[in-house]
């Protein structure tokens, strides 16, 4: 049953994206489209998986000003675990190959999300710095998985610098979303997925920081996230 639940959850994604494509075409590059789509995908996916997602610290997510959200990245199922936590007017960061996924890739592009080419890391940092202008000028928030790749339950991996450059350049606070380590474990005959608790930590202000502060900022964020994940 667990395998069937997962199949249905992922089968729902392109279907939801197909319907969402109408909204994205009606108001292309409106960043709030991403929040509505992610909310639908996450809640439908969790319902099909039978997954509970206990949440702490929702009040720490800024909704009245732009923020750079960083979250730990474990599996593709993170979409169901944290997708409905995007603040208003949020764009996300993804690798260039995502745009070729049917329906999902099209809405990802039309959502004005940041598309990175991992083979050009120096260009990626430049792109993230440019994104900081959108945070400031267009009052968009940014969601990033700073590890850059899935950890597959191996613990919090080393952070990449891009999100921190964007936060410091824009002066936006960094908000940390921490999900407990999880696998495809199911509960009982029904195949319901085990709960995955999530905690949102208080934002770290970056106003007044410079690029020289980025290494210390990364260490501080990593330390706080690692501690929270261990507690969960």
| Other C-beta atoms lying within 10 Å of the C-beta of residue 123 | 11
Cα-based distances in Å from 52 to 48, 55, 67, 152, 228: 11, 9, 26, 20, 19
pLDDT in tens, the chain (232 residues): 889 999 999 999 999 999 999 999 999 999 899 999 999 999 999 999 999 999 999 999 999 999 999 999 999 999 999 999 999 999 987 777 888 888 888 999 999 887 766 555 556 566 666 677 778 888 899 999 999 888 887 789 999 988 999 999 999 999 999 999 998 888 889 999 999 999 999 999 999 999 999 999 999 999 999 999 999 9
Which residue, 180, 179, 149, 142, is CA-closest to 164? 142
What pLDDT was estimated at residue 129? 63
What pLDDT was estimated at residue 155? 86
Phi/psi for 160 (5° steps) reads -95, 160
180 and 232 Cβ atoms separated by less than 8 Å:
yes
- Rounded CA gap, 64 and 121, in Å? 32
104 conformational bin, left if phi > 0, alpha if psi -120 to 50, beta if neither: alpha
- Rounded CA gap, 193 and 46, in Å? 9
- Rounded CA gap, 34 and 113, in Å? 9
Domains defined for the chain, CATH in brackets = 2-231 (3.40.1130)
pTM score of the predicted model: 0.91
What pLDDT was estimated at residue 133? 73
What pLDDT was estimated at residue 112? 86
Q: Which two tokens stand for residue 153?
A: 């339950």
CA 63 to chain CA centroid, nearest Å: 16
- Rounded CA gap, 198 and 60, in Å? 13
């Amino acid at each position: 049953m667990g395998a069937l639940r997962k199949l249905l959850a992922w089968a729902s994604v392109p279907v939801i994206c197909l319907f969402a494509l109408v909204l994205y075409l009606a108001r292309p590059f409106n960043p709030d489209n991403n929040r509505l789509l992610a909310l639908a995908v996450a809640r439908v996916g969790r319902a099909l998986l039978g997954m509970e997602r206990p949440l702490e610290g929702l009040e720490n997510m800024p909704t009245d000003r732009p923020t750079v959200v960083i979250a730990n990245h474990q599996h593709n199922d993170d979409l169901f675990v944290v997708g409905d936590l995007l603040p208003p007017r949020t764009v996300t960061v993804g690798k260039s190959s995502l745009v070729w996924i049917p329906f999902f890739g099209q809405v990802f592009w039309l959502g004005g999300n940041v598309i990175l080419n991992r083979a050009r890391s120096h260009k990626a940092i430049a792109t993230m710095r440019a994104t900081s202008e959108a945070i400031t000028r267009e009052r968009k928030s940014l969601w990033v998985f700073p590890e850059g790749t899935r950890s597959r339950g191996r613990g919090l991996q080393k952070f990449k610098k891009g999100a921190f450059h964007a936060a410091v350049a824009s002066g936006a606070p960094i908000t940390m979303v921490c999900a407990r380590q999880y696998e495809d474990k199911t509960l009982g005959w029904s195949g319901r997925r085990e709960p995955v608790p999530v905690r949102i930590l208080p934002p770290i202000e970056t106003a007044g920081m410079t690029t020289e502060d980025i290494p210390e900022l990364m260490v501080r964020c990593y330390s706080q996230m690692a501690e929270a994940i261990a507690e969960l």
